[in-house]
Amino acid sequence: MIHGESAPWPQAAAALDGGIAILPFGAFEQHGHHLPLSTDTIVAEHVARELAARLDAVLLPAIGYGETWNNAGYPATLSLSPATVTAIALDLARALTFSRARAFIIVNGDWGNRAPLAEAARRAELPTLVLDYPGMDDAAAEVRDSAQAAPGLSLDHAGEIETSILLQIAPKLVDPDRYTTGYPDFPADFGTRPMQLHPFSESGVFGDPSLASATKGTAILAATIDESERVARAFVDGIA
């Protein structure tokens, strides 16, 4: 694999010619009082790096901002508009086409990026795959000891699941002294219409980080990376 961030252009160009480019797409978004704003970027970058190693691909520098309107009511959360997210992905797909890449894989770390990245994948001329952490929900359900913040939804924001993942990847960025538990009362129509989160939660935590562990994070990440690889290989094999 090639680390796009540190490679001189001839090496990156040689690897891109007929090769695969992998882009981590993150966010700059509140994650409670105990996780960093860049949590989603850090996780996407980790998964993308592992995937790039397995596929012998070019790992592109991460996008550190995303569409995070749901959390934009928390100061210091800096959200892009959906059109910007789509445009970034489309512009890179176009540039990668010029570099004669064979395929473009986006590892998406943020819920709000899903629709705008799907739009980009649909419009891009270069075959483009968006991975929204396949396998993660099932793996999280297997290790989860806490209740979900919103029954029926896989919403865990800075709770047991996300905190476990960060404890595995970047334990120094987790501050257990600042754990808070968040089980807010959601309006009855939550999940059925666009809704910002800050009116329900002062801390920004949805779930219970106190039950997080690096061991759980390891299991969740391993399953996510395995499933991402399986989907990515099927996608690449399917390109004519």
Binding site for Zn ion (CB under 5 A): 39-40
Which element (helix H / strand E) includes 34?
A: none
Residue with smaller CB distance to Zn ion, 39 or 168? 39
As measured in angstroms, the least distance from the Cβ of 39 to Zn ion is 5
Which residue lies nearest Zn ion, judged by its C-beta? 40
Q: Which residues contact 40 (CB under 8 A, 6 or more apart)?
A: 26, 27, 29, 31, 66, 109, 110
As measured in angstroms, the least distance from the Cβ of 1 to Zn ion is 25
Residue with smaller CB distance to Zn ion, 19 or 66? 66
Instruction: Return the amino acid letter for 99.
Output: S
Name which of 95, 70, 98 is nearest 82 in CA terms: 70
Residue with smaller CB distance to Zn ion, 39 or 201? 39
As measured in angstroms, the least distance from the Cβ of 174 to Zn ion is 13
What is the b/e burial string over 31-62, where b = at least 16 CB atoms within 10 angstroms of the residue's CB? Answer: bbbbbbbbbbbbbbbbbbbbbbeebebbbbeb
As measured in angstroms, the least distance from the Cβ of 12 to Zn ion is 29
As measured in angstroms, the least distance from the Cβ of 113 to Zn ion is 11
Residue with smaller CB distance to Zn ion, 40 or 208? 40
Residue with smaller CB distance to Zn ion, 71 or 86? 71
The β-bridge partners of 22 are 59, 105
